[in-house]
Chains A and B, each alone.
Chain A
Amino acid sequence: RKEVEQDPGPFNVPEGATVAFNCTYSNSASQSFFWYRQDCRKEPKLLMSVYSSGNEDGRFTAQLNRASQYISLLIRDSKLSDSATYLCVVYNFNKFYFGSGTKLNVKP
């Protein structure tokens, strides 16, 4: 079983839509959680850390469910510029584990 699993998508949504991604992780002792964004042929960039209590940054909301071992990312009012691949990242025991990424296409 992979450490981190994500639906690869693609998610094709119109501008203004709300879209949600989920990610599951296998190690219940995992310590930290993140969402990264990767544009085509570019390096991943940190979008947001995921806190146990859930956290929001503008149009983006991240939540963690330790009991079910999943992390979610909600994007409201999607913009064309949100089109990218979103990577779920889990940290435990000095290693960062990456999901394969979920591709989002926001269309006019």
Chain B
Amino acid sequence: GAVVSQHPSRVICKSGTSVKIECRSLDFQATTMFWYRQFPKQSLMLMATSNEGSKATYEQGVEKDKFLINHASLTLSTLTVTSAHPEDSSFYICSARGYGDPGSGANVLTFGAGSRLTVL
């Protein structure tokens, strides 16, 4: 099945630094990747939709200058949290749209393992 690799799985950084998270589709091409954020005991929140070769589409309330997304190839999207602050501490998860099982006619989402960011 489809595999999405996300790195790093855990990062601790000082306030004011920037952190880059990578998301790779390992055995399929992903023209679209999605970035989510999840705070403890809360649901997944879509941050942005990343499209290969074009600018990302950000959800309302998500600062595009703070959360830089680059989708330079069909297998790699990156999220950079710029000038991170403690309130940016969260679980960031990427996902890529692949193909569902035969007969479903549906695209399914495959998730990376997530990156837990702690900003001190």
Contact = CB atoms under 8 A, between A and B. Distances in A.
A99 B104 contact: no
Contact of B43 (A31, A42, A43, A100): A100
Interface string B95-106: 100001101111
Query: How many B residues are at the interface, by size bracket?
Result: 20 to 34
A84 B110 CA distance: 18
A73 interface: no
Interface residues of A, number: 22
Contact of A34 (B108, B112, B113): B108
6 contacts: A42-B113, A43-B111, A43-B113, A44-B44, A44-B111, A49-B106
A94 B106 contact: no
A26 interface: no
Interface of B: 32, 34, 42-44, 46, 49, 91, 93, 95, 100-101, 103-114, 116
Given A42-B113, A43-B112, A43-B113, A99 B107 contact: no
A36 B111 CA distance: 11
Contacts of B91: 41
B109 A46 contact: yes
A94 B57 CA distance: 12
Contacts of B93: 43-44
Tell which of B43, B91, B100 has the most Cβ of chain A within 10 Å: B43
A95 B44 CA distance: 13
B106 A101 contact: no
Given A41-B91, A49-B100, A51-B103, A89 B109 contact: yes
